[in-house]
Structure 1
Amino acid sequence: MELPPDGSPPIPGLKIYRGLSCESCRFITRNSRNLATHETRARHHRLQVNGRGGNGRATVMLQSLRKAPQARYWIANPAAVWADRSGDNSSSTAEEGDSSGDGNTDGDTILLQTVRACEKDLKEAEVERQRQVEAPGGVDTGSRWVQFMKWSAHLQQRDKTMLHQTGLSPASAAVEQRMWPRERREANQRLRELTESFRRELGRCMERLDRVPDETLEWLGSIDPTKPVSTPFGRKQQSDTMDRYSACWQRYLCYCVRIQPLGRDGAKTEHGIRFTEEQWNSLADIVQRLDTVADKKKKQGQQQVMKGSREGDGDEDEGSAEGREEGEEEEDPDKEALDEAVFDFCIKSIKQKLGRKQYHNPLLHFTAVLGIKEDGTWVPSHTHTRFLAGFLWCGRILMLEHFFEDDPYDSEDSTCDTSFTAIDRFQKGHRDWLATGSYTPFSAIIQWMTYGRGYRNQEGGQARVLWDSDGTTLKYLGDKITVESFQRAAQAVVREAEGWLDKLMGGQWSQIRETIRLRDIADSLVFEGPGRSFATNRKNAWLKPGAEKLTRLVGATLWKIVDAGNGGSRVECRRWAIEEYLGWLRQFRSSMFPVAHVWGGQPGRGPEVSTLKHCDTEQLPKNVFVFDGQVVLITDRDKSKGLNGKQGRKVARFLPEGPSLMMVAYIAWLLPFEKVLHRLSGIRGPSEAISPWLWKSAAKGLWDTSKLSKQLALVTGAQIGVQLTVSSYRHVAIEMGRRIKGLIVQQVELEAAVADSDDEAADPLTGEAHRQPKVEYVWDIQATHGSRIARNHYAVNLQFPSQLQPEMLSNFREISRLWHQFLARTDGDFGDRKRRAHYDDSMPVVHRAAKRQQLTIDREVCIIVFITLLFYM
């Protein structure tokens, strides 16, 4: 039986149901769970029909001739009734309206349904308007960043959602297996082959970094065509950064391959991208070779399926055949041809001279596409400059190989003449293609990055926090956080870690902690050598560091003595007990991780905590020390210390007594005992290469900021009701810290805004000199040098690390002490509130004047202390 078409008027007498419809296909249901299952299986939750927005589903009115479970629905449109009746005679409509009250009720219902349908159409029209890029002069040009980048002018009247989705990376292999239909899965496989090809080429080109002179790398990293930089260009310190940079180029290649079927003119019309003749031919070559690789891999997969279904003889022959196939895959000529085509297209995307119309280059056009977020808004400058940095970094590596590919510098049969011919070719190519003022894509990206960084510094951060009128509740992005709940969460992380430590100590932690005399622990704040820490100091022998202490406490539960069979005895592991104990140790480590972050003082960045080392390595000093009865964590506060070639400035954070005792027990007893357990039981533990680091596991290796965010979110979600990550916790904790000292901190911030310039004499982008107050001490002037030179170069205390002298360490300790007092409170208060901004009207004028004078003196003393602190920094 044929059902009425969708959108037809409702049939009188049949019940109208409220239902849901998939916007990607004709799937209608009354159950939201059924629709969710359909979206997952059909992968329609990430698709949207062209010309429509929303979340992929729509609310509709349904009718059916039968009841469930034999129901077959169609979409009924009540507004169609009004449209049909609008063509009737107006007099008859009026007569029907005057005939009875029921008629008026039906008319009102139809009128309301018509208004609702009209509002829905208006909403869809608004969504459609927002999907398209506004022309210059519209609402999208309110940002100076968007105006400077000229995104609106270049992408006007084009679909934002379509551009964003076309520029996405291919789905992972796991997601690919769930794709349907088969054509989508095969298209995603082709794109994954393309990204793997670029990764192979980038890895091949990175080998060139080790085969050219350092002076060449200094020129490679320079944007100035007349002078090199002081630090040679090279690999990034973190592999994640290189992967993120590589992903920018991979997305560019996928974008170009996706639009290639449109043709050169079609791509220009729909996307606004332009290719030169050479670039388009090179892109067609990529597509052709990509099809060859994809078809070959598809055939190999079918053959493997057929071989897997066979049983019986010939297993050895199959194994040898598979071995040959694997060997052939390593030197697959089709993949090598694809790699060459990808490399050639990337080079041609860079080597293009541009004038005023910079977006006539396909690479620069794609940077504009990356400026569109998933919701259709524009990407801010601080995010978009990361994409630009990725294109620059990978582009430099590709161009270096392009200049030297015909002349391997370190070849044995290479003569000096041919080698320097390649170097001269690189020097000329650097001036023509990679430097500022060369009128190339590189020159444009350098210009955008320079403006983006300056704009980012001027625009300031997003407003996130707001205090309620009662002064005890802080709103972070709309979520309410009371001071009492914040303090309760800080205390909860310590209790949780102490509970796990008590289990690890066999329930005797309360007695053992009394034996740890923190003030008697000897430690040095300078580099001593690999493996050295307070646990290896001979003066701390009374602490009995090592595995023996825990062996006496819990050894009987983890091992048992059995007969060796030769009249002797041997130790046998209780594997299940050891696995349980190691699980407790992982839980303690996970709980102690946020303790060090929360209780150290004002919070730093995630890497400052995740990279803590309890002992010296071959090249780096440790970060955990015992100083004057407290555990102190000393870290670098410079994010870019490895990039600017300078030694990182230090910041110290002190732990209170409880966490200090737990940290000493963890380093002195638990870490050595963990190694013994893994060795005797044969259970795989963390690698020996990461032994000096505190936060680690066998499964993940070194822990990172994401792990710390997860642990913070767990405890803050339970205690506060708001899941705070490392970033959000930092905002909240800094605002809480500002309230501890009240008006004095506000006065100090005025000085800090002028004085703190991160020790930079001039802005690295504009070259403008920083204006900062200069404070000199008489005794330094008498010694014929300034105070800054005196603190950094003369009479530097041997006991303390670089740029962290006794006065500075004392200031950091005082800040940590104030923070400890605040977190230890249970009344939701900030502590001393004697100094206030307002005055009691009942106070005599003389007393108020005396109080103002005392407050002024206190402010001046605090400002002097703060300027001194900044001076030592």
Structure 2
Amino acid sequence: MHQVSVIKVEERVSHLMLGWQPAVDLRTVRDDFTCRAPGWSFLQEEQNGLRFAYKALLHRTWSSAYLGQPFAKAGRWLVQTCSAYFESESELRSEIFAAIHLTAGLPARGPEITSIKVCNTAQVMRNLIFREGRLLLVIEYNKARASNYHAFYIVRYLPQRLAELVYLYLVYIRPFISILASQLRFSYLHANEFLFPDPRHKQKHLSPAQATDILKRLTMRFPAPISLSLYRQSALAIAKRYIRELIQRADFYKPKAASDPTKMIAAGVGHHPRVLLTEYAIDSALPVQLQPELLEMYLQLSTLWQDWNRQYYEDHRNLWTTAAVTPATGAAIKSESRGLKRGLPADSLPVSSLNKRQAPLIAAPRASLDMDGFRYDAQYKILICISCESAFKQRKLHGTDT
């Protein structure tokens, strides 16, 4: 799921960039944590020179086609082609949402992730910020104000490839869409401060219900499509079981080694290490509550999450293939069970005894395996659920096992 979400964004960005692949080096992008001017983002930073970068894509469209149709004819935009481009950009926003929510780190709450801002407003600061060649998702969590009158920051680092794709979207595709919509007088398509505006144009940004629909479309082949709340619970369960085993027990505020530089410097000036890290030598380019030590901790957490998912994918992709599942119920289960006991191949079972309704897809192993809750019979290529005795048949589809 994590791998597919990024691949979808990559394919869609290439599609909307009309095959053009400009060089991207995020290490050269300048951003300012401390700038709170309304409307400001990294695109307005003079050193970046990106304010009118979208014009390169605009000029390409005059001589390019989209879905086999030209963008313009006789100096005028063709509405049908432009509308198809608008629809594809809307799909890209949904795919970017899914990719960020799944891969940036442990998942945020629905209202937090759906209301991500790409530029400052008069009330709040933007959430997407570039720093040291990485794209950060910074959320100021205000729930703590009720108890201590101070908010704290939650930071998630996007995977590098996804960060580059989001950069291309923000620098080229999104501004081009806004200009094109203005020229065609599609007022409801004008970009606002939110990264994920409401596709139905009824509110300013994506709602948690719409976000859940995006995740369900991505996981529609699962036995149970995943909602925002279900994914958050699942991710935390995975983190507690697996990620914590990878996290080194390091406390930035309480160095344990006697030779630790922070501890030695703090002792030299008569302070506790925590005081040194939080009250002295503060980096003025960052909010006081979000200093480099805290950013480093969040970077480690995001990296562990991404590395674990990547490694899990590498370890299991050779064992699993996408398989069509036809859940058998009632008499059909008994028929398949009898067929297995008699040594009959599942192909001999009558079609009428199976549920003909198209079912979700799951991953099925290629070799004979015993898994938690499932048993795979390699001889007959059948996956059996131990709890309910449902049997799923592996078939040939277009020359491949499914």
CA shift for structure 1 position 700: 3.1
Q: How many residues are paired up?
A: 300
The structure in which a higher percent of residues are strand is: 2
Corresponding position of 1:602: 106
Residue deviations 1:124-170 (CA, integer Å, cap 9, x gap) = xxxxxxxxxxxxxxxxxxxxxxxxxxxxxxxxxxxxxxxxxxxxxxx
TM-score (norm 1): 0.32
1:644 offset after TM fit, Å? 5.3
Q: Find 1:499's aligned residue among 11, 19, 24.
A: 11
Matched, 1:675 2:178: yes
On the 8 A contact 2:40/2:119 being kept in 1, the answer is: yes
Matched position secondary structure for 2:137: strand
Report what 1:524 is aligned to.
Answer: 32
Alignment of 1:201-280 (within 5 A): none
Map 1:542-621 onto structure 2 (within 5 A). Answer: 545-556=52-63, 557=65, 559-560=71-72, 562=74, 571-621=75-125
**TM-score (structure 2 length as normaliser):** 0.67
C-alpha contact (below 8 Å) 1:695/1:703 kept by paired residues: yes
Deviations 1:604-650 (A, max 9, x none): 21122112111222232211112222211111234354x55834201
CA distance in 1 between counterparts of 2:242 and 2:281 reads 35
Aligned partner of residue 187 in structure 2, secondary structure: coil
Which residue is equivalent to 1:657?
160
- The CA distance in 2 between the partners of 1:663 and 1:545, in whole Å, is 17
Distance apart, 1:792 and its partner CA: 4.0
Aligned sequence identity (%): 22
For structure 1, list consecutive stretches of 5 or more residues without a partner in the other structure: 1-488, 563-570, 756-775, 830-873
Q: What pairs with 1:326-405 in structure 2 (closer than 5 Å)?
A: none
| In structure 1, distance between residues paired with 2:249 and 2:237 | 15
* Shift in Å, 1:660: 0.5
Instruction: Give the alignment partner of residue 136 of structure 2, picking from 607, 613, 632.
Output: 632
1:555: how far off?
3.4
Paired residues of 2:243 and 2:305 also in contact (CA < 8 A): no
- Where do 1:128-527 residues align within 5 Å? 489-508=1-20, 511-512=21-22, 515-527=23-35
User: CA RMSD of the aligned region, Å?
Assistant: 3.0
- Aligned counterparts of 2:245 and 2:161: Cα–Cα separation in 1: 31
Structure 1 residue 573: deviation in Å? 2.2
Q: Which residue of 2 aligns with 1:695?
A: 196
Take 1:828 and 1:561, find their aligned partners in 2: how far apart are those partners?
A: 51
| Offset of residue 680 of structure 1 | 0.5
Secondary structure of the structure 2 residue equivalent to 1:632 = strand
2:310 is matched by which residue type in structure 1?
A
Give the counterpart letter for 1:694 in structure 2: L
Match of 2:236 among 734, 739, 751: 734
CA distance in 2, matches of 1:782, 1:628: 31
Structure 1 position 554, deviation (Å) = 2.2
Question: In the superposition, relative to structure 1, how do residues 604 and 560 fare at CA in structure 2: closer, same or farther (>3 Å)?
Answer: closer
Contact kept? 1:504, 1:581, Cα under 8 Å? yes
Q: Bigger radius of gyration, 1 or 2? A: 1
Q: SS state of the match for residue 653, structure 1?
A: strand
SS at match of 1:607: helix
Aligned-partner residue type, residue 141 of structure 2: R
Give how far 1:748 is off: 5.7
2:214 corresponds in structure 1 to: 711
The 8 Å contact of residues 612 and 622 in structure 1, kept in 2 or not, is answered as yes
Alpha carbons 1:547, 1:676 under 8 Å: kept: no
The alignment partner of 1:639 has SS state of coil
Q: 1:815 to 1:732 in 2, by over 3 A?
A: same
CA drift at 1:576:
1.1
CA contact (8 A) 1:501 1:588 kept: yes
Q: Determine the C-alpha separation between the residues in 2 that align with 1:618 and 1:784.
A: 42
Alignment-mate amino acid for residue 704 of structure 1: S
- The one of the two structures with greater contact order (alpha-carbon pairs below 8 A, sep at least 6) is 2
Contact 2:44 2:51 in 1 (8 A): no
Residue in 1 that maps onto 2:42: 534
Q: Using the alignment, how far apart are the partners of 2:189 and 2:170 within structure 1?
A: 15
Alpha-carbon distance in structure 2 between the residues aligned to 1:726 and 1:618: 29
Extract unaligned runs of 5+ from structure 2: 255-261, 317-402
Which residue in 1 is equivalent to 2:393? none
